[in-house]
Structure 1
Amino acid sequence: MSLRSLVFSCVALVVVAGAGSLALAPWNGAPPAVAQAPQADAPIEQRAIPQSDAEIKLSFAPIVEAVSPSVVNVYATRIEQQTVSPFANDPFFSRFFGDRYFQSRPRESRSLGSGVIVDAAGVILTNRHVIEGATDVRIALSDGREYAVDIVIEDEQTDLAVLRVRDGGDATFPAISFADSDHLLVGDLVLAIGNPFGVGQTVTSGIVSALARTGVEATDYEFFIQTDAAINPGNSGGALVDMAGRLVGINTAIYSQSGGSVGIGFAIPANMARLVAEAGVNGGEIVRPWFGAKMQPVSSDIAASLGMMAPHGAMITEVAPSGPAERAGFQSGDVILSVDGFRVDDPSAFNFRLATRTLGESAKLERLRSGATETIDFLVEAAPQPADSAIASISANSRFAGVTVRQLDPALAEAKGMPYDAVGVLVTAVQPGSPAEAMGLRVDDVLLSLNDTEITDAATFSQIASQRVRTWQIILQREGRVSRAIVSG
């Protein structure tokens, strides 16, 4: 059985019923006093194990007392459709009786997770899967206060979300400070704080079991901290803190066959979480660096053919035309070994390292080419924004009214797993209740042809889709498959 088949997101427990800069200062009050405890980012030779009975009796209580007010419970309510008949999914009954006999009715579903206050104005960081699809979200602080919150950011690429207290008045919230997760070492002590199984705020202790774990969740940035601190359903979005009481990660997943903790939990590193939190505090969108190349891991056979002592690194397989990687001189076959001195073991590690770099700055990329290594100064930049002419919305009296599309470009094609030279327009929005929705168009559909005219750009699509015709012959790509359809005009 594969690792991925045994990994369950720490999904919130479900019960079915009918602008400014990020505050990185410590909490209000004195920092936790841990007797002679070295900083978590201290050199390894300064990290000592207990040497006496007095040191063994040291308690985590000061850390917990300082940190726990920053960890909240997150309650998300969503409305789901429930089919009344138990035979609704039976193809035999569906075929002979039709959908009219299997009506659905709305039901209210509540999920429970955790969150971390990252700004004193009431900004909370949690997992996206905790609040996904929610129609109402509330938080409860450790002192019992409850607040309604607005969802500011839902970032599918990292499975993180940012919430903001809706009516906090003049209240100041106890914000946690971020640690530099790059300073973590395997064996460092950590505490996990959250609300497992809805029993209330709970603290568990453990160590950092591993770093840079991949294959855990289907996110774009797989680079997880592994810990043996007990993490269970309901802990999602909670805090993983170091011995200085700083946030080192957001608890997000567990490895389990039963759904309970078996001592293998995973957290999103603080350096990634901080970028999402800062975007939420500033009220803006997340803009990430773009490298402009596709990569693959370096296998043992590839390493041997390249004369490498051991397989590691990210090998470039395709370079986007006129993209940042091409302008920096990268070619197919190059192997990236490190970013700013941090070793790169695979493409996931490279993506994480680049994503946590600041736009406009220079990163040092160590490259292997033709048996020789060299360091390249790479300018970290975002993907180019689409021109106004690359976006089209249809509002005319047409079957396509209510749809918004964007012309494919190399950056967008890469993000959607398509070749760099892919052509067509990508559906980015479909207005609810619109003719386009009634026709069956979905977000991420790629429209390739309308009435035997190839769609190469947004202008062509807009011109044709605004027409009134008797019949539409549509060729589109959905989830990697090309389909043809004929619909009335």
Structure 2
Amino acid sequence: MKKLFLLSLLTLSLLNAKEGVEFKYSPKDMERNYPTAQNYILSYNNVLENVRSSIVNISIKKEINGNQLSANPFFNDPFFREFFKGYGDIPQERIQQALGSGVIVSKDGYIITNNHVIDGADQITVNLAGDKKEYEAKVIGKDEKSDLAIIKIEAKNLNAITFYNSDKVKVGDVVFALGNPFGVGETITQGIVSATGRSGVGIVEYEDFIQTDASINPGNSGGALINSAGHLIGINSAIISKSGGNVGIGFAIPSNMVTTVATSLIDSGKYTRAYLGVNISDISDDMSKFYNDNYGALITGVEDNSPAAKAGLKRGDLIIEINGKKITSASELKNTVGSYAPSKVVIVKFLRDKKVESRNVALATLDSKITNGEFEYKGLKLTQIDSTHKQQLNITINGVLVVNVDEKSEAYSAGIRKNDIIIQVEESEIATLDDFKKATASKDKKRVFIFRRGYILAIVL
């Protein structure tokens, strides 16, 4: 039996030798370095102590009236309406309160946070760490497409946070998330950078997130994600979770995007993005073979009179580089173009018929594209739906798109919101702005039918 066992080992050894597989082992004499000892404690207190006073708590109050409540799809469901019959029908008015976080970016009181934290707020209150005084804040500017906003309080000599170049953030870097989750008070959680350049998540239109496993919970929104040196690398924005609790997948808006947007919001109250004028998509492995095994942003359509059209770009071109920056996906092209100032001339490198070509393209203003063909009505800004809107909103219906709503307008009180699609007014179906103008020519109140995320709602306006 012993000989048979030795023969089996020899046979196995020969088989392994024949296959030529070599397993890589660590050095046998590796030593362990212990980060702690009995005579000292490993701590980041010295770093965090300075940053804590740069993080603020934000509380908002928002008045919700009956019309806004009835605009919710649930209240248009017969079951819910039947449920409320015995309780005084749908509540007519209530005060909604919410909590979030913010980061001080200047000594004189400018604070950056998420747009969704302060959106629609009637009152914004800021509490500073170690200060019992409550500060009333005013909105300086907000950008829904990146989910960033700037508010300001009247205060001096505040501790402005130090920024770090987010392009230099690496996967595995130790990070801390600071905020006020669930309203329990100032909280700090630790983790690492899980990924950078995350896009396609579907949270906002412009996504280039830093992903982290540091716990980000409700109330952390607008707070800071800092590295182990205490420098800001991102603004905590969202999590992926089925339960609403943290599962280790959190997202922060990178600091470079934050500074670009915040500078414009402080200077002019808005952020204006550059516009190329193409419909784009990613490509598969099979499609990549037609482009010399390259990846990039495939042009599937070019808008008339757009910067792309004027530069001679065509459907089927694969954009692989902008101003020397490599482009590997449609979202990367979108974020890159959106980071430039309007009117900037960029060099677009692309593949056409397996040949690399380049064009100088003078970018235009995205806002100028949107305002073409706009119509204002009772606080609404409307535009006709085109192929770009259908692609962005993943819809196939026709109608007029609500580009913006004045929060103090009759339309806002009635419950109409941005990105709603008006498809009918009284008995008239709406496919164009002219249809809407004719249907609303009289000053009488009318039934307006809107499409919102798969629901059709009826509102009196």
TM-score normalised according to structure 2 size: 0.74
* Larger mean Cα displacement after TM superposition, 176-185 or 312-321: 176-185
Deviations along 1:432-454, whole A, 9 cap, x unmatched?
785x7899977654579999899
Q: Which residue of 2 aligns with 1:109?
A: 96
More helix by share: 2
Q: Which residue of 2 aligns with 1:330?
A: 313
From 361, 364, 367, the counterpart of 2:350: 367
- 1:231 maps to 2:216: yes
**Inter-partner Cα distance in structure 2 for 1:353 and 1:442:** 29
From 106, 127, 132, the counterpart of 2:114: 127
Q: Which residue of 2 aligns with 1:174?
A: 159
Q: Which residue of 2 aligns with 1:352?
A: 335
From 256, 277, 289, the counterpart of 1:271: 256
Give 1:255 deviation, angstroms. 2.9
* Larger mean Cα displacement after TM superposition, 294-303 or 443-452: 443-452
**Inter-partner Cα distance in structure 2 for 1:97 and 1:60:** 53
Give 1:78 deviation, angstroms. 2.5
Does the CA-based 8 Å contact 2:425-2:446 persist in structure 1? no
| Cα 1:59–1:137 shift into 2, 3 Å | same
Q: Which residue of 2 aligns with 1:295?
A: 280
**Inter-partner Cα distance in structure 2 for 1:266 and 1:191:** 13
Which secondary structure state, in structure 1, belongs to the residue aligned with residue 319 of structure 2? Answer: strand
* Larger mean Cα displacement after TM superposition, 381-390 or 188-197: 381-390
**Inter-partner Cα distance in structure 2 for 1:387 and 1:255:** 31
**Inter-partner Cα distance in structure 1 for 2:323 and 2:346:** 6
Deviations along 1:2-30, whole A, 9 cap, x unmatched?
xxxxxxxxxxxxxxxxxxxxxxxxxxxxx
**Inter-partner Cα distance in structure 2 for 1:125 and 1:113:** 11
Unaligned runs of at least 5 residues, structure 1:
1-49, 395-401
* Larger mean Cα displacement after TM superposition, 322-331 or 197-206: 197-206
**Inter-partner Cα distance in structure 2 for 1:424 and 1:136:** 32
Q: Which residue of 2 aligns with 1:64?
A: 48
- 1:187 maps to 2:178: no
Q: Which residue of 2 aligns with 1:321?
A: 304
Letter in 2 for 1:344: I
From 151, 154, 160, the counterpart of 1:163: 151
Unaligned runs of at least 5 residues, structure 2:
1-31
Does the CA-based 8 Å contact 1:320-1:410 persist in structure 2? no
Q: Which residue of 2 aligns with 1:35?
A: none
| Cα 1:482–1:268 shift into 2, 3 Å | closer
- 1:141 maps to 2:109: no
Does the CA-based 8 Å contact 1:424-1:448 persist in structure 2? no
| Cα 1:405–1:240 shift into 2, 3 Å | closer
| Cα 1:62–1:297 shift into 2, 3 Å | same
Letter in 2 for 1:254: I
Letter in 1 for 2:328: D
| Cα 1:219–1:428 shift into 2, 3 Å | closer
Q: Which residue of 1 aligns with 2:363?
A: 380
Give 1:140 deviation, angstroms. 1.0
Which secondary structure state, in structure 2, belongs to the residue aligned with residue 104 of structure 1? Answer: coil
| Cα 1:294–1:456 shift into 2, 3 Å | same
* Larger mean Cα displacement after TM superposition, 149-158 or 338-347: 338-347
Deviations along 1:97-121, whole A, 9 cap, x unmatched?
9799514153333222111111222
* Larger mean Cα displacement after TM superposition, 373-382 or 206-215: 373-382
Letter in 2 for 1:155: D
| Cα 1:95–1:74 shift into 2, 3 Å | closer
* Larger mean Cα displacement after TM superposition, 193-202 or 69-78: 193-202
Does the CA-based 8 Å contact 2:175-2:226 persist in structure 1? yes
Does the CA-based 8 Å contact 1:448-1:456 persist in structure 2? no
Give 1:232 deviation, angstroms. 2.2
Does the CA-based 8 Å contact 1:430-1:442 persist in structure 2? no
Matches within 5 A, 1:305-454: 305-308=290-293, 312-383=295-366, 385=368, 390-393=373-376, 402=378, 404-406=380-382, 408=384, 417=393, 428-429=404-405, 444-445=420-421
Letter in 1 for 2:165: D
| Cα 1:186–1:362 shift into 2, 3 Å | farther
Q: Which residue of 1 aligns with 2:25?
A: none
Which secondary structure state, in structure 2, belongs to the residue aligned with residue 287 of structure 1? Answer: coil
| Cα 1:431–1:464 shift into 2, 3 Å | farther
Task: Give the paired residue count.
Answer: 418
| Cα 1:131–1:346 shift into 2, 3 Å | same
| Cα 1:374–1:258 shift into 2, 3 Å | same
Which secondary structure state, in structure 1, belongs to the residue aligned with residue 364 of structure 2? Answer: coil
* Larger mean Cα displacement after TM superposition, 121-130 or 317-326: 121-130
| Cα 1:119–1:346 shift into 2, 3 Å | same
**Inter-partner Cα distance in structure 2 for 1:322 and 1:78:** 42
Q: Which residue of 1 aligns with 2:190?
A: 205
Give 1:233 deviation, angstroms. 2.2
| Cα 1:404–1:473 shift into 2, 3 Å | closer
Does the CA-based 8 Å contact 2:114-2:222 persist in structure 1? yes
Letter in 2 for 1:332: R
| Cα 1:68–1:362 shift into 2, 3 Å | farther
**Inter-partner Cα distance in structure 2 for 1:480 and 1:387:** 21
Letter in 2 for 1:78: K
**Inter-partner Cα distance in structure 1 for 2:213 and 2:185:** 20
**Inter-partner Cα distance in structure 2 for 1:383 and 1:93:** 41
**Inter-partner Cα distance in structure 2 for 1:248 and 1:185:** 11
Does the CA-based 8 Å contact 1:215-1:222 persist in structure 2? yes
**Inter-partner Cα distance in structure 2 for 1:448 and 1:92:** 25
Q: Which residue of 1 aligns with 2:27?
A: none
Give 1:258 deviation, angstroms. 3.7
| Cα 1:94–1:149 shift into 2, 3 Å | closer
**Inter-partner Cα distance in structure 2 for 1:181 and 1:73:** 24
Letter in 1 for 2:62: R
Which secondary structure state, in structure 2, belongs to the residue aligned with residue 303 of structure 1? Answer: helix
Deviations along 1:107-147, whole A, 9 cap, x unmatched?
33322211111122211111122223322211111122421
Give 1:404 deviation, angstroms. 4.9
Does the CA-based 8 Å contact 1:363-1:379 persist in structure 2? yes
Letter in 2 for 1:330: L
Give 1:322 deviation, angstroms. 1.1
Give 1:403 deviation, angstroms. 5.6
| Cα 1:290–1:54 shift into 2, 3 Å | same
Greater Rg, structure 1 or structure 2? 2
